[in-house]
Amino acid sequence: MTTPLIETPLLTLAPSTINPAILHLTLHSPPVNSLTAPLWRAILDALTLAESTSSAHALIISSALTKPVFSAGNDLRELYAPMTTEARYTEYWVLQNECLARLYGTRLFVVAAVGGACPAGGCAIAMCADRRIATRDLSIGLNEAMLGIAVPGFWHKLMETLVGRRTAERVCTMGTFMNGDEALASGLVDELVASRPLLLTRAEELCTAAVAVPATGRAGTKQSFRGGVACEWGRRERILAEAKGNWRELEKGELQGALGGVMKKLGLIGKKMFSFFEYLMGCWCLRYTMISPDRDTSTNKDDSMDLDLDIEHDDAHVHAHTVGHMSPSSPPSSESDIDLGADEQEHGEREAQFDFGDLDVGQGVGSEESVGLRESASIVSNFGSGEAKLTPTRHSTKSGQSYGQGQQGQGQKQGQGDRKRMEAEMDNLLDKGWRWGLGEGIRADEVEGW
């Protein structure tokens, strides 16, 4: 076990156990390594120490998060004018540019070991490396355009260098991500590995080969390729002028509206929940499971029930109407098919997908005379697997009864206390059950860097 050169709550810099000429820079700033000002400063300080360590000739940058995230990119709160000031933004922009310019031009041979999601600023860090290796579940790109922000000039120039002008312009202007195969084919990454543990193994191999080359020859040649760009990128006068121009754009109402809308949906402004669902409409769904404890699964009779569901939260209003069939003989859709445990099979559990992309509703389930229905929800992505549930109690007495509005009568909703319980349990679900991208769980209010 080697002694770290730097060990902070944000990152660790430590020599390799295999070769002391190789240093590991490991980011561990939960939940998603958002590039806040303190993290940019910590990266710059670590890079400065690494460069000043005469025995060091290579650097591996990776993430220690349990989630499949390299870095979620810049902290959007540093870019949203109503939440910052021109002076603070300028300081942030200078720090970021100085860090990236130093990383791009460093004498060290740098390998970015990217596991999972790598958008925006995370992608910029990776592009500054000499080599990029990634897991097959990679999602990488400069998606600033989707946030209403122009891609920084040096960022898209790096993208152009790696993938060519035509591809760079296409992906940057559309704010699209590449998956692992696409990134490998385009040249954005150099290699793919099957799993995260293999990332560091392969990164060590690449660094070992690099440090075998005489440093004067390798670093000198790298400087001739990158020195001019790195010098201009880090020139303070240029950065300050760029920051001034950027701030004028960030102050504009149109950009604030676009960025503010994204931040609200991410839970960085106001409350979370359904507005966040709408933001993730392209790759998320809410799987809504209705379970009837009295369900008789021994017959093939198709029991059906209409459910109206009204949910109001903040300014987001969702109205869903679902008609479904609860029968063992009914084939579930491919989107809602899951492996059920014995207990779930006994209760006839099936799923209904609520697609918040167009607020449409997919397959629903129920029974004609369901008393004491229990509802639960699981949230999954198109790319992930598994589920997490909340189980607030609701009741319905017959087909077509409106759900969630506190009607009087048999099986009535439990009123506002029940609503608060549902919200509290949804918070618990968000703590444990978010799946995004290729994903592990991330709360809505934790996704700071997209």
Length of the chain, in residues: 450
Give me the mean pLDDT over the 41-50 stretch: 97
Q: What is the DSSP string of 273-284?
A: THHHHHHTTTTE
Residue bearing tokens 């999602």? 139
Directed axis angle between helix 86-105 and helix 236-250, to 10°? 130
Report the C-alpha gap between 332 and 350 in whole angstroms. 8
Residue bearing tokens 């592009």? 127
Report which of 127, 137, 131 is spatially closest to residue 159, judged by C-alpha positions.
127
Look at residue 400 and tell me whether its pLDDT is greater than 70.
Answer: no
Report the C-alpha gap between 279 and 385 in whole angstroms. 20
Asked if 164 and 156 count as a contact pair (C-beta separation under 8 A), the reply is: no
Amino acid 413: pLDDT:
36
Amino acid 191: pLDDT:
96
Look at residue 49 and tell me whether its pLDDT is greater than 60.
Answer: yes
Look at residue 211 and tell me whether its pLDDT is greater than 60.
Answer: yes
Confidence class for position 166, pLDDT limits 50, 70, 90: very high
Amino acid 408: pLDDT:
32
Confidence class for position 261, pLDDT limits 50, 70, 90: confident
Most confident of 72-86, 174-188, 289-303: 174-188
Give me the mean pLDDT over the 44-68 stretch: 95
The percentage of residues in the chain with a pLDDT greater than 90, rounded to a whole number, is 51
Report the C-alpha gap between 257 and 263 in whole angstroms. 10
Amino acid 186: pLDDT:
96
Amino acid 263: pLDDT:
78
Looking at the DSSP assignment, which residues form a beta bridge with residue 26? 12, 62
Report which of 75, 70, 119, 68 is spatially closest to residue 96, judged by C-alpha positions.
75
223 versus 408: the higher-pLDDT residue is 223
Amino acid 185: pLDDT:
96
Both tokens assigned to 406: 């506190």
Q: What is the DSSP string of 387-450?
A: ---B--B----STTPEESS--SSTT----HHHHHHHHHHHHHHHHHH---TT-----GGG----
Summary mean pLDDT of the chain? 69
Asked if 392 and 422 count as a contact pair (C-beta separation under 8 A), the reply is: yes
Amino acid 253: pLDDT:
84
Q: What is the pLDDT of residues 374-393, one digit of tens each?
A: 233 332 222 222 332 323 32
Global model pTM greater than 0.85: no
Directed axis angle between helix 120-128 and helix 86-105, to 10°? 30
Report the C-alpha gap between 14 and 20 in whole angstroms. 9
User: How many Cβ atoms are within 10 Å of 211's Cβ, its own excluded?
Assistant: 18
Look at residue 358 and tell me whether its pLDDT is greater than 90.
Answer: no
The side-by-side arrangement of strands in the sheet containing 316-326 is: 316-326, 303-313, 402-403
User: How many Cβ atoms are within 10 Å of 237's Cβ, its own excluded?
Assistant: 7
Domains of the chain: 6-261 (3.90.226.10), 274-446 (no CATH)
Report the C-alpha gap between 75 and 446 in whole angstroms. 11
307 versus 188: the higher-pLDDT residue is 188
Amino acid 252: pLDDT:
86
Look at residue 128 and tell me whether its pLDDT is greater than 90.
Answer: yes
How many Å separate Cα 403 from the centre of its chain? 33
Q: What is the pLDDT of residues 148-160, one digit of tens each?
A: 889 999 999 999 9
Confidence class for position 347, pLDDT limits 50, 70, 90: very low
Confidence class for position 167, pLDDT limits 50, 70, 90: very high
Exposed, middle or buried, 249 (CB in 10 Å: 0-12/13-18/19+)? middle
Confidence class for position 395, pLDDT limits 50, 70, 90: very low
Look at residue 176 and tell me whether its pLDDT is greater than 60.
Answer: yes
Asked if 325 and 332 count as a contact pair (C-beta separation under 8 A), the reply is: no
Distances (CA, A) of 186 to 78, 158, 164, 168, 220: 31, 13, 8, 10, 27
Look at residue 31 and tell me whether its pLDDT is greater than 60.
Answer: yes
Lowest mean pLDDT among 144-153, 293-302, 356-365: 356-365
Amino acid 117: pLDDT:
94
Report which of 201, 208, 122, 126 is spatially closest to residue 163, judged by C-alpha positions.
126
Confidence class for position 245, pLDDT limits 50, 70, 90: very high
Look at residue 357 and tell me whether its pLDDT is greater than 90.
Answer: no
- In degrees, to the nearest 5, what angle opens at C-alpha 168 toward C-alphas 67 and 141? 10
Give me the mean pLDDT over the 263-274 stretch: 58
Report which of 333, 330, 321 is spatially closest to residue 297, judged by C-alpha positions.
330
Give me the mean pLDDT over the 340-346 stretch: 32
Report the C-alpha gap between 34 and 28 in whole angstroms. 10
422 versus 355: the higher-pLDDT residue is 422
Secondary-structure percent of the chain, ordered helix, strand, coil, rounded to 5: 40, 20, 40
